[in-house]
């Protein structure tokens, strides 16, 4: 087996991975493994923008309050404080590096999104914020001779010895060989897992690989039951569930039912700008009430030129499906969008395993709580990616072992037929959407777990086939979500159980933590300082 050696291994090239790599490149050699092209990630598809309290009418304290309120009692206040305070510094840095956020004259242009009390969301090229940020970060990282990108490398598992992580095994899809990278520090910034659901805004590569690898290695994961469903994804037969950014409603877009009546005021006083979990459940209720499969997102009352300039990607995409959003209402339906939970970390990205770090959507810092505030995800990746880089540099003091004893280095060449893998994947995605989706109950969760375990029993072990490994990872993530959702017998944020519709502050105003045994514990929402002290590796 080919063995590569580096100081720092970064898995994933979204906003968190690139920002971490830029920091790490100042201290040693960095290898960045990317599943696809370096610029292909969830970040690339982020439309709405990045939230930061930089406008004259805004304050950091208001951003803090809005984030805590959206998190429904489960945000870590210290983590949020770091996010909103340090976010200003790192956004200013992005601007210095050449990020072209939209402006009105010489002033930055801000928009408002759901559950924000102020207009604080920066955007670029109307609705292409993520791709603009990735452009700048890639340019910055590529200019550093210490940073090496290896595209089309699918990570299989972490290299583990005596409870410490020393790199990863990966399939080099260019020569179809399994290889190993040994590193002082391994950084997981592999993004989300939206593909676990049949209805999702996430790209095909979002199969929860980092979550599953960390779980198999023995790392603790937290708040896996909290999956956010975006209220407005394009709902057309034969079309992908293209995200229709929340900024559309922030700029005055309406939601209408099949009878063309606005309905959100019946469910929440903020109407279309209510928190995402409430909007999604309201749409589901309206679909049931009107016996329909979709509602409409209506922009036709807004100025046509404004719409085209403000949302050029949305306009062009919908036009491909014969919908002119300046004159036609858009059929929409909720879709799985973002996992608030993930690999449990402290405030510096340290996990429960030595030498393993995580940031971005794959991590759970406590910033988002039970329900992410719109446009905080890019900010979290930026801030905590940088903080992780600084921590990994400070911690990198042990030499990498020459050899590791682990069974993960033995791979079978046998794989299942591709059509069977695809069939099983579709079955898993449908199961998760129908039984573990926007509305849940104990009976459905138990049935989903039983069915999922049955499906997973037919998978091959240690096969270096990307399709089958992705399926295995999706099943692992699905199981973690189900078990965590079964344990939380209440409704909070994005987790809504019809058999437990109320919150239980005394018992469940806590974070769930799940380990390799799949046993769920609940721990208090404590200050991140004490969390960092208990999780810090030495």
Angle between helices 129-142 and 77-96 (to 10 degrees): 70
DSSP H stretches of helix in 275-359: 276-290, 304-310, 312-320
CA distances to 57, 68, 81, 85, 405 from 63, in Å:
12, 9, 9, 9, 48
Strands 254-256 and 50-51 turn out to be: unpaired
pLDDT score at 532? 39
Instruction: Please identify which of the residues 180, 241, 276, 310 carries the catalytic annotation.
Output: 276
SS (H, E, C) 174-228: CCCEEEEEEEEEEEECCCCCHHHCCCECCCCCCCCHHHHHHHHHCCCEECCCCEE
What H or E segment, with its residue span, contains residue 67? helix 60-70
Range(s) of the chain covered by CATH 3.50.50.60: 2-225+340-395
pLDDT score at 414? 55
pLDDT score at 393? 97
Range(s) of the chain covered by CATH 1.20.58.100: 410-501
CATH number of this structure's domain 231-336, picked from the four choices 3.40.50.1370, 3.90.700.10, 3.60.10.10, 3.40.640.10: 3.90.700.10
Please state the pTM of the whole predicted model.
0.93
What H or E segment, with its residue span, contains residue 377? helix 377-395
Token representation of residue 230: 């975006």
Strands 356-358 and 177-188 turn out to be: parallel
Cα atoms found within 13 Å of the Cα of residue 88, Cβ hemisphere only = 13
CATH 3.50.50.60 is the classification of domain 2-225+340-395: yes
What H or E segment, with its residue span, contains residue 450? helix 442-456
Residue 269 to residue 261: CA distance in whole angstroms: 17
Mean pLDDT for back-to-back runs of 10 residues, the chain (538 residues): 95 97 98 90 78 96 97 97 98 97 95 91 90 96 98 96 95 93 97 96 95 97 97 92 90 97 96 92 96 97 96 94 97 97 98 97 97 94 98 84 55 68 96 98 98 89 83 97 98 97 97 93 70 38
Range(s) of the chain covered by CATH 3.90.700.10: 231-336
CATH number of this structure's domain 410-501, picked from the four choices 3.20.20.70, 1.10.1040.10, 1.10.10.10, 1.20.58.100: 1.20.58.100
pLDDT score at 517? 85
Tell me if residue 276 is catalytic. yes
pLDDT score at 528? 41
Going by the DSSP 8-state scheme, the letter that residue 511 receives in this structure is E
CB atoms within 10 A of CB 2: 10
Token representation of residue 477: 């993530």
């Amino acid at each position: 087996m080919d063995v590569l050696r580096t100081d720092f291994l970064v898995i994933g090239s979204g906003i968190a991975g690139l920002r971490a790599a830029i920091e790490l490149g100042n201290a040693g050699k960095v290898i960045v493994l990317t599943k696809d092209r370096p610029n292909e990630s969830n970040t690339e598809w982020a439309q709405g923008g990045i939230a930061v309290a930089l406008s004259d009418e805004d304050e950091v304290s208001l951003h803090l309050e809005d984030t805590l309120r959206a998190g429904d009692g489960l945000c870590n206040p210290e983590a949020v404080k770091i996010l909103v305070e340090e976010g200003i510094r790192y956004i200013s840095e992005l601007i210095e590096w050449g990020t072209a956020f939209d402006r009105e004259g010489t002033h930055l242009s801000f928009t408002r999104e759901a559950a924000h009390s102020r207009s604080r969301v920066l955007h670029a090229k109307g609705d292409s914020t993520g791709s603009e940020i990735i452009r700048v970060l890639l340019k910055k990282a590529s200019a550093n001779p210490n940073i090496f990108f290896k595209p089309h490398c699918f990570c299989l598992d972490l290299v583990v010895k005596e409870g410490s992580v020393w790199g990863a095994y990966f399939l080099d899809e260019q020569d179809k060989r399994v290889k190993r990278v040994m590193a002082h520090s391994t950084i997981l910034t592999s993004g989300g897992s939206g593909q676990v659901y049949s209805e999702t805004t996430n790209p095909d590569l979002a199969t929860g690989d980092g979550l599953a690898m960390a779980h198999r290695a023995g790392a603790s994961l937290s708040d896996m039951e909290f999956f956010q469903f975006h209220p407005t994804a394009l709902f057309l037969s034969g079309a992908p569930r293209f995200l229709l950014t929340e900024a559309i409603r922030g700029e005055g877009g309406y939601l209408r039912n099949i009878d063309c009546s606005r309905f959100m005021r019946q469910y929440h006083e903020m109407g279309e700008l209510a928190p995402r979990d409430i909007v999604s459940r309201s749409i589901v209720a309206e679909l049931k009430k009107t016996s329909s499969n979709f509602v409409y997102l209506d922009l036709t009352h807004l100025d046509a030129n404004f719409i085209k300039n403000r949302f050029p990607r949305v306009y062009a995409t919908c036009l491909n499906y014969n919908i002119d959003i300046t004159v036609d209402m858009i059929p929409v339906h909720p879709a799985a969008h973002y996992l608030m939970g993930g690999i449990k970390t402290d405030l510096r990205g340290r996990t429960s395993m030595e030498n393993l770090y995580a940031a971005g959507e794959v991590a759970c810092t406590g910033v988002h709580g039970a329900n992410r505030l719109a446009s905080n995800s890019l900010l979290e990746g930026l801030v905590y990616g940088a903080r992780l880089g600084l921590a990994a540099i400070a911690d990198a003091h042990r030499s990498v072992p020459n050899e590791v004893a682990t069974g993960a280095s033995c791979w079978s060449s046998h794989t299942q037929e591709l059509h069977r893998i695809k069939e099983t994947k579709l079955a898993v995605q449908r199961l998760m959407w129908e039984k573990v989706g926007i509305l849940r109950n104990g009976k459905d969760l138990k049935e989903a777990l039983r069915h999922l375990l049955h499906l997973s029993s037919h998978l091959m072990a240690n096969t270096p086939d990307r399709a089958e490994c992705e399926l295995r990872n999706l099943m692992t993530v699905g199981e973690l979500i189900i078990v965590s959702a079964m344990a939380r017998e209440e409704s909070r944020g994005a987790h809504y159980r019809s058999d437990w519709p109320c919150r239980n502050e005394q018992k469940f105003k806590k974070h769930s933590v799940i380990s390799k045994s799949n046993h769920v514990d609940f721990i208090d929402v404590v200050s991140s300082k004490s969390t960092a002290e208990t999780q810090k590796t030495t």
